[in-house]
Structure formats: structure tokens, C-alpha cells
């Protein structure tokens, strides 16, 4: 009778009980990598860097993330840059490269319970099969991955919880078997496999190959659009949205994140959702600008933005833990009659209960992919009834977000008055584009720091002699798009070396130009003077080096970039090109020293001038290059070459 009365009054009765529980909640996380998405975070001023890390990882502060997924650097372009491998060549290993070790340590420092998940996008050249897959020798590839897992433990005391196979690329079942065996034989039985970081297709292999199922812990699908294949649901495997979101982090992005965090479970029984990316810490102008939970793209000022996806995360993460259980569909999990959804998550001792409700409208919660069908959301009243053993809860904290659009203000992650259940019931009037958390957990907190410094564009003039960078690290502010650039020392002087000597297992096609290249500065730079010292290598040498400016393409389109390229071969030949892979404008020869040489490139309007060791080489007018873009240097072929003393200034 009450239910009927309720629907007559236009109010939905939601009965929560625990007669049967749903699936285990496995956490909300972010991805650093795939690729180079944390590149600029590393050289932030310490104060702002620590604040940012608190917003991401510190419990009861901000996003309070429960999973950190990182790229296992593979020396290949993987979206916003390439990340260094721990083995550039078969004969070496190095665990002081890149920033993912550091990031994992910072996350664990703040939350020792955070789960770590590693995944490869590319792989170094020595693992490359001719078809550009890492399955030339599955034992070697498995050992390469297990070395990374082992190094986490041995060098950093980090326990890796999950390992994936190959991001969004086909796996070989034979490789999965060998990887599982190699992990087990080296004492890593507790490192679980998530397969296949693409679609739900791995479920077919599980069905056709009963020996495979026990090797796989969870099925990971990317951008599932909140749905899972029936077969996947019936497989009994945990289902993860192992990469999702990737949406510009304004309020539509926040709305996307709110909707999928609930509905990935409501519609698709997914128990973990992981955002690409964790933090948008790469230059504006690179692909997928600001597609992270928050933004930090100015290490030179310390400016950062805590975007609303951080607070949307908090609505779930601050009031749950991995290992809690969703209530069952129909008894605490479901869709709202007039649009929107709700989930309820219960602690194992049943002493804590968290309910998250969202009423995001279609156009305010669009994600980058996939397109979803139209749906309506209307204002509505709901009554939450706590049944059975849940009736013991008489009070809950209430946390509220109203996302604003079209100039309307937002209220974000605010604690409202504590609510009281009367006879086990509480009535809530829901508006549009709102998120509510009802919870017995008392520790919720909207963390805050004073405003960070104001934004400013990349500062010019700019000079770097790389003396301030730790050896094996990437040079600050240089965003490698193909190849791997590391700071090394000869004992007295630090310099940058391009390390790759062959083409990696590519994730996309950025390396097809055959060049190593690292970008710096501002996408809107136009009249720029660049100068760098270079030295040809005596072993495993690149054929030469180049300086470039006004580069208009990057990421997985790096091989297509236009721009002015002044190349110098180690035999003394020079060239001027208008793109990375062709269109020669001029060429000649010049003198090269055994040791360091100075290379300069000035571009002003259509005028372009090059010099080497202070001697003018060319001075001409060109019309067919972009009006603005990034600056860069690199190697003309994969192979070693050294760089030092980078100068950049505005060309007057
Ligand atoms: C994903 C990648 O895994 C990430 O590294 C990052 O590039 C992210 C950016 O949105 O995208 O790759 C996808 C690229 C394209 C599609 C799906 C995933 N797509 O077109 O469906």
C-alpha cells in the first residue's frame, strides 16, 4: 500500500536490505601514464607538488584514490609522450628512470592501502617482433615485466597488486600463461592479472579455454559506456572499467565521472573504475588537454587547478574501502524512476553504510566515448527505507554537490545537516545534476589549501644546463614525444642523451619518423630563437641531430608534425625541412667538431636562419610551415647523441 501511495505522490520508495549482497567494491583510481601524463608534475615547486599529491591521494582530503595505475614505461609514445623503460636494451636494467616510481611512493606515503596496478603501452625494441608486437619471445617479455614488479619490491618496497597485459592491443594467451608462471615462480603469486585492458573479449577465451580462467583475476574493459557483455557478467570474474573518463575536466567532465562511477556498477556490475588520467600534467596543446581529475601544467609558476572530478571522486572514495560490498540490485542499487541512479556500499562488519545518488542529465554528463542514448532526468522525491539489520542506522551524514552549467554556480562536496531516519525512513527531494552521499562514515572532509600562485605562460628567456636534474631522470620541461632523453653525467658536467638505439614496440605510430624528439615550451610560440650544444656519439650513434620549432602535431601524431627542422648529420651534412619526415627546403655541408658543437635556429615571421658554431648556415624565407607551435630537439635516427645548454628566447 505504501509503495502504491508513494508512486501516486510521485515518490519512489527505495528499500535497502542485506538479505543478499552484491559484488565486492574494488576501488576508484587514476592512471598515470599512457603516456607521460604526470610529466610536468615532477618539477613543480615542492610545496605545490605536495598539495597536489594530497588532493589526489591523502585519505579524507580530496579524491582519496584507492587505486593508482601506472604505465610500465616502454620507450614508446603512449599519448602525451613516451615513458622510459627500465631496460632500453637487453643488457641493462635501471630503476631510477621516469616518474612512476616516485609517484607510487608518494601515493603510498599518503595512503598505505592504495592498490598499485602496472600496465605496458609500448615495449623496448629488443622485445619487438616484426609485426610490432611484444610476443617475439614470451618468456623474455614476461621476465621483463616481472623484473619491474620485483624492482618495485627490492628498490622501493612497493607491492604491485595488479598487472595488465598490453594496453588496448591484442594479447597472446600463451604470453598470459607464461607471465602467470613467471610471477608465481618468483614469489609473486599475489600479483593478480587484469585482462585485457581493451574490450570484454577476453571472456570468449575464458569460455573456450578452461585452463585460462584461473590465471585471470579480473576482466578489464576500457570506456565500457557503463555496460558489460552478459557473458562477462555471467563469467563470475570481477569486471573493471580499467580505463574510463578521458573527458575535459569542466562540469560536464565532472558529470560524466559522477554518472559512470555509479552506473558502471548499476548497469554493468563493474566494481572498479579508473580514470584516464590521474592528473593532466602535460603541456596544453598536447592531445587530450585537461582530461584528468585535476590539472597541473605549470611547474614554472606552481599554478594548479583542483577540478570538480576530484570532488566527485570524494563522494564515493571518502566513504568506502576496497573490500566493502555493494548491496544487491533492487535492494540498494538501481535506477531512479525519473532518471539518475543510486548505489549502496556496506562495510564487511556491516557497521558502516554509504549510499551515493546521482541525477546527472544526459547533456551534462557526456563522456568522450562512447556515445550514449538519450535519457531524461526529472526532479523527484525519493524515500529511503532501511530494512532488516540496516534499520539500526538512525543518522547519516549528508554530502552534497550541485553542478552548475551555463553560468550557474556549483556547490561542490559540501556537508549538509546530518539526517535522521524516522522509523527507518528518510525522504530526499532530488534536483537535477546533483550528487548526494548518505553515510555513517564520519570522517568526510573537503580538504583545502590557500590558492596556488597565479598562472603565467612558459617563461622566456629560458636556459637549462641540466645540472639540476638527477642522473637517469628526464630533463625538466622537455616532453619527449619519441625516443628517450635522459640526463647523464661525465663526472663534471651533466648533459642529455637520447638513449634509444632501435625502434620500440610502438603503441601508436609516432616513432615511424625514425627520429627521437623532445618538445618544450608553448604551442602558441611563433618567433623564437633556439640554441643547443650537441655531441655525436662514438658508439651506437644516431646519424645526426636537429633543432626544430613551430611544431603543430604531437602525441600519436608526432610523425606527422610540420615545422622548421634544421638537421645536422655527424658527417657534416645539413638539411632544412618543413616537416619531421620530408619536404626538404635546402641542404649543404658544415664543419663538425669531435666534441661539443653549437646549433642555433631563429625563426621570425617567414624568415628563418640557422647557424652552427656561430657561423651562419642559411637565411631564407619560407611560407609552408605553421605560424606557431612547440620547440624541440632530437636525433635524426634512433641512436645515441648528446645535448646540453638549451637556450630559448623570443626572436625580435
Ligand atoms: C585510450 C588510451 O588507452 C589512453 O592512453 C589515452 O590515449 C586515452 C585518451 O582518451 O585513450 O585509448 C583509446 C583511444 C581511442 C579509443 C579508445 C581508447 N576509441 O576511439 O574508442
Query: Probe ligand 1: pick from 120, 243, 556, max atoms within 8 Å of CB?
Result: 243
Compute the residue count for the chain: 652
Residue 305 has pLDDT above 60, yes or no: yes
pLDDT at residue 8, as a whole number = 53
pLDDT band at 7 (very low <50, low <70, confident <90, very high): low
pLDDT at residue 10, as a whole number = 73
Q: How far is the CA of 80 from the centre of ligand 1 (A)?
A: 11
Q: From CA 84, how far away is CA 485, in angstroms rounded?
A: 8
Q: From CA 154, how far away is CA 187, in angstroms rounded?
A: 13
The tens digit of pLDDT for each residue in 123-174 reads 999 999 999 999 999 999 999 999 999 999 999 999 999 999 999 999 999 9
Q: Which of 100, 106, 243, 474 is catalytic?
A: 243
The tens digit of pLDDT for each residue in 381-428 reads 999 999 999 999 999 999 999 999 999 999 999 999 999 999 999 999
Interface confidence, given as ipTM, is 0.93
pLDDT at residue 542, as a whole number = 98
Nearest CA to ligand 1 atom 5: 34
pLDDT at residue 467, as a whole number = 98
Cα angle: 462, vertex 278, 549; to 5 degrees = 30
Q: How far is the CA of 310 from the centre of ligand 1 (A)?
A: 21
The closest-lying atom of ligand 1 relative to the alpha carbon of residue 555 is: 7
Residue 5 has pLDDT above 80, yes or no: no
pLDDT at residue 112, as a whole number = 98
Mean pLDDT value of segment 530-548: 98
The tens digit of pLDDT for each residue in 209-263 reads 999 999 999 999 999 999 999 999 999 999 999 999 999 999 999 999 999 999 9
The tens digit of pLDDT for each residue in 416-472 reads 999 999 999 999 999 999 999 999 999 999 999 999 999 999 999 999 999 999 999
Q: How far is the CA of 506 from the centre of ligand 1 (A)?
A: 15
**Count of CB atoms within 10 A of residue 459's CB?**
12
Q: From CA 460, how far away is CA 650, in angstroms rounded?
A: 7
* Residue 553 neighbours by CB under 8 Å, 6+ apart: 560, 561, 562
Q: Which of 168, 172, 289, 321 is catalytic?
A: 168
Query: Probe ligand 1: pick from 80, 168, 289, 510, max atoms within 8 Å of CB?
Result: 168
pLDDT at residue 81, as a whole number = 98
Annotated catalytic residue 243: yes
Q: How far is the CA of 294 from the centre of ligand 1 (A)?
A: 18
Q: From CA 335, how far away is CA 635, in angstroms rounded?
A: 55
pTM of the model: 0.97
Is the four-CA dihedral 230, 231, 235, 239 of positive or negative sign? negative
Chain mean pLDDT for the chain: 97
pLDDT at residue 562, as a whole number = 98
Annotated catalytic residue 395: no
Q: How far is the CA of 200 from the centre of ligand 1 (A)?
A: 15
The tens digit of pLDDT for each residue in 491-510 reads 999 999 999 999 999 999 99
What is each CA distance from 148 to 118, 158, 163, 215, 349, in whole angstroms? 9, 11, 10, 20, 36
Q: From CA 49, how far away is CA 261, in angstroms rounded?
A: 27
Query: Are β-strands 341-346 and 597-604 bridged in parallel, bridged antiparallel, or unpaired?
Result: unpaired
Q: How far is the CA of 375 from the centre of ligand 1 (A)?
A: 25
Nearest CA to ligand 1 atom 13: 168
Residue 478 has pLDDT above 70, yes or no: yes
**Count of CB atoms within 10 A of residue 625's CB?**
24
pLDDT at residue 88, as a whole number = 98
Phi, psi of 116 (to 5 degrees): -110, 140
pLDDT at residue 328, as a whole number = 98
Question: Does residue 56 contact residue 107 with C-beta atoms inside 8 Å?
Answer: yes
Mean pLDDT value of segment 622-642: 97
Residue 527 has pLDDT above 90, yes or no: yes
Ligand 1 contacts (CB < 6 A) are 34, 78-79, 167-168, 222-223, 243, 246, 276, 288, 368-369
Nearest CA to ligand 1 atom 20: 369
The closest-lying atom of ligand 1 relative to the alpha carbon of residue 368 is: 10
The closest-lying atom of ligand 1 relative to the alpha carbon of residue 369 is: 21
DSSP E strands, 172-302: 192-198, 218-222, 239-245, 270-276, 295-298
Nearest CA to ligand 1 atom 12: 168
Amino acid at each position: 500500500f505504501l509503495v502504491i501511495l508513494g508512486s501516486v505522490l510521485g515518490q519512489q520508495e527505495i528499500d535497502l536490505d542485506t538479505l543478499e549482497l552484491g559484488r565486492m567494491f574494488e576501488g576508484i583510481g587514476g592512471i598515470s601514464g599512457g603516456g607521460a601524463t604526470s610529466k610536468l608534475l615532477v618539477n613543480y615547486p615542492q610545496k605545490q607538488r605536495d598539495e597536489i599529491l594530497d588532493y589526489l591521494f591523502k585519505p579524507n582530503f580530496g579524491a582519496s584514490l584507492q587505486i593508482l595505475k601506472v604505465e610500465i614505461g616502454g620507450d614508446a609514445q603512449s599519448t602525451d609522450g613516451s615513458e622510459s623503460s627500465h631496460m632500453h636494451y637487453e643488457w641493462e636494467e635501471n630503476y631510477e628512470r621516469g616518474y612512476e616510481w616516485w609517484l607510487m611512493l608518494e601515493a603510498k606515503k599518503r595512503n598505505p592501502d592504495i592498490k598499485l596496478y602496472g600496465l605496458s603501452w609500448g615495449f623496448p625494441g629488443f622485445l619487438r617482433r616484426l609485426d610490432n608486437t611484444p610476443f617475439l619471445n614470451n618468456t623474455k617479455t614476461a621476465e621483463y615485466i616481472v623484473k619491474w614488479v620485483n624492482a618495485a619490491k627490492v628498490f622501493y618496497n612497493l607491492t604491485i597488486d595488479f598487472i595488465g597485459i598490453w594496453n588496448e592491443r591484442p594479447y597472446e594467451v600463451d604470453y598470459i600463461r607464461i607471465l602467470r608462471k613467471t610471477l608465481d615462480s618468483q614469489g609473486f603469486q599475489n600479483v593478480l592479472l587484469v585482462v585485457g585492458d581493451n574490450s570484454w573479449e577476453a571472456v570468449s577465451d575464458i569460455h573456450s579455454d578452461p585452463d585460462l580462467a584461473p590465471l585471470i583475476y579480473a576482466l578489464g574493459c576500457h570506456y565500457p559506456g557503463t555496460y558489460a557483455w552478459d557473458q562477462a557478467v555471467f563469467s563470475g570474474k570481477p569486471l573493471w572499467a580499467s580505463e574510463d573518463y578521458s573527458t575535459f575536466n569542466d562540469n560536464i567532465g565532472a558529470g560524466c565521472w559522477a554518472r559512470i562511477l555509479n552506473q558502471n556498477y548499476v548497469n554493468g556490475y563493474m566494481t572498479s573504475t579508473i580514470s584516464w588520467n590521474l592528473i593532466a600534467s602535460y603541456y596544453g596543446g598536447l592531445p587530450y588537454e585537461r582530461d584528468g581529475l585535476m590539472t597541473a601544467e605549470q611547474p614554472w609558476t606552481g599554478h594548479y587547478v583542483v577540478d570538480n572530478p576530484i570532488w566527485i571522486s570524494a563522494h564515493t572514495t571518502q566513504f568506502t574501502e576496497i573490500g566493502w560490498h555493494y548491496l544487491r540490485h533492487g535492494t540498494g542499487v538501481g535506477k531512479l524512476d525519473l532518471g539518475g541512479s543510486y548505489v549502496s556500499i556496506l562495510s564487511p562488519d556491516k557497521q558502516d553504510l554509504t549510499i551515493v545518488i546521482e541525477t546527472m542529465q544526459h547533456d551534462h554528463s557526456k563522456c568522450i566515448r562512447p556515445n550514449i542514448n538519450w535519457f531524461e532526468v526529472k526532479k523527484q522525491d525519493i524515500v529511503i527505507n532501511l530494512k532488516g539489520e540496516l534499520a539500526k542506522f538512525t543518522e547519516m551524514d549528508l554530502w552534497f554537490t550541485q553542478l552548475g552549467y551555463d553560468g550557474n554556480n556549483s556547490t561542490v562536496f559540501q556537508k549538509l545537516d546530518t539526517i535522521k531516519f524516522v522509523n527507518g525512513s528518510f525522504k530526499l527531494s532530488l534536483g537535477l545534476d546533483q550528487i548526494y552521499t548518505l553515510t555513517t562514515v564520519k570522517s568526510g572532509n573537503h580538504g583545502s589549501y590557500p590558492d596556488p600562485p597565479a598562472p603565467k605562460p612558459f617563461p622566456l628567456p629560458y636556459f637549462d644546463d641540466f645540472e639540476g636534474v638527477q642522473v637517469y631522470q628526464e630533463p625538466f620541461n622537455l616532453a619527449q614525444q619519441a625516443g628517450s632523453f635522459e640526463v647523464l653525467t661525465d663526472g663534471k658536467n651533466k648533459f642529455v642523451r637520447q638513449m634509444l638505439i632501435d625502434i620500440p614496440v610502438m603503441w601508436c605510430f609516432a616513432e615511424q619518423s625514425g627520429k627521437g624528439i623532445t618538445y618544450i615550451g608553448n604551442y602558441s610560440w611563433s618567433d623564437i630563437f633556439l640554441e643547443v650544444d650537441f655531441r655525436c656519439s662514438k658508439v651506437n650513434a644516431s646519424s645526426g641531430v636537429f633543432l626544430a620549432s613551430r611544431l603543430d602535431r604531437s602525441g600519436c601524431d608526432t610523425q606527422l608534425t610540420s615545422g622548421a627542422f634544421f638537421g645536422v648529420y655527424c658527417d657534416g651534412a645539413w638539411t632544412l625541412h618543413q616537416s619531421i619526415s620530408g619536404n626538404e627546403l635546402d641542404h649543404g655541408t658544415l664543419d663538425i667538431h669531435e666534441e661539443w658543437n653549437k646549433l642555433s635556429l631563429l625563426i621570425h615571421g617567414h624568415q628563418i636562419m640557422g647557424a652552427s658554431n656561430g657561423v651562419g648556415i642559411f637565411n631564407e624565407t619560407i611560407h609552408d610551415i605553421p605560424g606557431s607551435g612547440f620547440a624541440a630537439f632530437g636525433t635524426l635516427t634512433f641512436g645515441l647523441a648528446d645535448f646540453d645548454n638549451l637556450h630559448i628566447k623570443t626572436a625580435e
